[in-house]
Structure 1
Amino acid sequence: MNWHGSSDAPPLARIAALAPSLQPGERRVTEAIMADREATVERTAQELADAVGVGRTTVIRAAQSLGYEGYPQLRVALAQELALESTGTDDADAADGTLLGSVRAGVGRFAARLGNTTAALTEDDVQQFMRLLDESQRVLVLANGLSGALGIDLVLRLNSAGRPAEILMDAMSQQISARQLGPESLCVVISGSGANRATLEGISAAKKGGAKVVAITSFARSAAADAADVALVVPPINESFQDELIHTSRAAIMLLIELLVEQFVAYRGERGREAQAVALSMLGGGILE
């Protein structure tokens, strides 16, 4: 699996999205890079290979898997990424030993990587998602675990945008409903790890029924992304698959969902604006003075 996202995407975003799918040797190379990016900028391919304990060709393949012509281009990209980060929030100043300081430091880290949120997306994938969302007769959202709240949020936003959608929180009910989807239906899957068992079983059921599947996930070569017709990959804010499982941040995916629905309203033109006006009218009527 090679990088197919934006050519402007920084190394951090590429590694986060692709690391689980790399060959073991290539993964060791990327882990060494992330452990000390500054040192990597100063190393030759052979020096990095010696430090990791792999062959020079493995280092070159790792760079190419990340979407670079070769290792020199990866070094340049790392240098640019570090230079941009040096102008961002200083975590040392934010983390002053207080709880609030730690929160501010976390917000600063998130803000520094916020640009990576869309780095792996392509115009074609987003266009396909909009078309499927608009044309499908039924839309079923699958989301389990800590992604469950994002699934509910997506359904509420879609309904407010005039696109009826449904979600079920019981795993067996999900499979039954997914299996009954037909060729004119869409199953939207939200899974940060892309490896949730219940979600994968739901995907399998949806595909058996002939439905199209769109996966919103953090990793380009996760099981969910592989099974989907369209994968919208949002590189995790955390630096590794392990960190994603432990810290399970869904903030980047939440942001993407909000923006996708906003664009969907625009995509539908007058229909979208009318639906939005109805939703706003209902909301206005429910507010007490």
Structure 2
Amino acid sequence: MAWEGSADAPPTARIVALAPSMHSGERRVAAAVAEDLAGTVERTAQEVAEAVGVGRATVIRAAQTLGYDGFPQLRVAVAGELALSASSGELTADGTLLGSLRASFDRFASRIGHTIAGLTEESLETFVRALDSAGRVLVVANGLSSPLALDLVLRLSSAGRPAELLFDPLAQRIAARQLGEGSVCLVVSGSGANEETIAVARAAAGSGASVLAMTSFASSPITEVADAALIVPPVNDSFRDELLHTSRAALMLVTEALVDAVTTRRGDRGRDARAAVLAELGAAIRE
């Protein structure tokens, strides 16, 4: 699977999203690029091939999988990413807990742009239109993605777009199997490989419902089941780093923006729903 996201997406964002699904040799090339961006700019395809232990053709294929015409274009993109990161300054901690926290926030801020690197106008339009028009919406998530599903359902409900949420995997499958045509099963899965979540998505597809997926990796079991997917690369630098320091922050930001887009699409219905929510919040607040 080749890169299908934004043409402006930096190389590291593409690598994080695609590396798990790349062939072994191409994945080694991608890892080498991500681990030494500066060195990549100075190397030829042949030099990278010798350093990694693959053929030159594998290096070229890896670059093409990442969405570039060839390795020279990948080198240019890497140089651009390095220049951009250099302009943001050094992101280092000062040895204190607060300094470490600040460095973490700075690092996250420097990679915010990566969170939308894999999105396209077409995929967003598909999601917003489907969520607005569906007869029923079942939101599904398990594991570390579960809190995102609860937040998403609450936000959709406040926008006048009622959605269902069940936490038991069996109950999820039962509900999904009864959705039927005209309904939507919206799956949130960072890894895109949670077996319980995949089973629910397949049950929804079997009922005739549309399956929409939000995930961090461009090629995964959930993208194979889904009718449409929003690819939101994680804020970590590599797939290995994502496994060790799993973050759902990027997905959370996109879900919030997605609900805002749905609210706008719904026009007066969305505005009336928001007004009703504010009225309830006002009535609940006591001085």
Cα distance between partner residues in 1 of 2:18 and 2:66: 7
| Matched-pair contact (CA < 8 Å) for 1:25–1:54 | yes
Q: Partners of 2:22 and 2:193 in 1: how far apart?
A: 16
Give the 3-state SS of the residue equivalent to 1:215 in structure 2. strand
Q: Which residue of 2 aligns with 1:229?
A: 227
Alignment partners' CA distance in 2, 1:53 and 1:241: 21
Provide the residue aligned with 1:242 in structure 2.
240
Tell me if structure 1 keeps the 8 A contact 2:17–2:218: yes
What TM-score results when the alignment is normalised by the length of structure 1?
0.98
Q: How many residues align?
A: 287
Which residue of structure 1 lines up, in the alignment, with residue 114 of structure 2?
A: 116
- Tell me the distance in 2 between the aligned counterparts of 1:244 and 1:167: 26
Any unmatched runs of 5+ in structure 2?
none
State the Cα distance separating 1:279 from its structure 2 match: 1.0
Residues 34 and 238, structure 2, Cα contact 8 Å, conserved in 1: no
8 A Cα contact 1:89 1:112, kept in partner? no
State the partner residue of 1:90.
90
- Given the two structures, how large is their TM-score scaled by the length of structure 2? 0.98
Corresponding residue for residue 16 of structure 1: 16
Structure-1 residue corresponding to 2:51? 51
**SS class of match (1:25):** helix
CA RMSD after TM alignment: 0.9
Match of 1:167 in 2: 165
Structure 1: gaps (5+ residues)? none
Q: Indicate the SS of the match to 2:139.
A: strand
Aligned to 2:81: 81
- Contact kept, 8 Å, 1:89 with 1:108, in 2: the verdict is no
| Residue 226 of structure 1: how far off its partner (Å) | 1.7
CA offset at residue 89 of structure 1?
Answer: 4.3
Pick aligned residue for 2:180 from 179, 182, 186:
182
The equivalent position to 1:132 in structure 2, one of 127, 130, 133, is 130
SS in 2 for 1:235: coil
5 Å matches for 1:258-277?
258-277=256-275
- Please give the alpha-carbon distance, in whole angstroms, between the structure 1 residues aligned to 2:202 and 2:241: 27
Name 1:206's counterpart in structure 2. 204
Asked if the contact 2:6–2:120 (Cα under 8 Å) also holds between the matched residues in 1, the reply is: yes
Residues 142-192 of structure 1 show CA distances to partners (whole Å, capped at 9, x for unaligned) of 011110000000000000000000100111111111111111110000000
CA contact (8 A) 2:145 2:190 kept: yes
The equivalent of 2:70 in structure 1 is 70
Per the alignment, residue 145 of structure 1 pairs with: 143
Is the Cα contact below 8 Å between 1:193 and 1:245 reproduced in 2?
no
Letter of the 2:35 counterpart: A
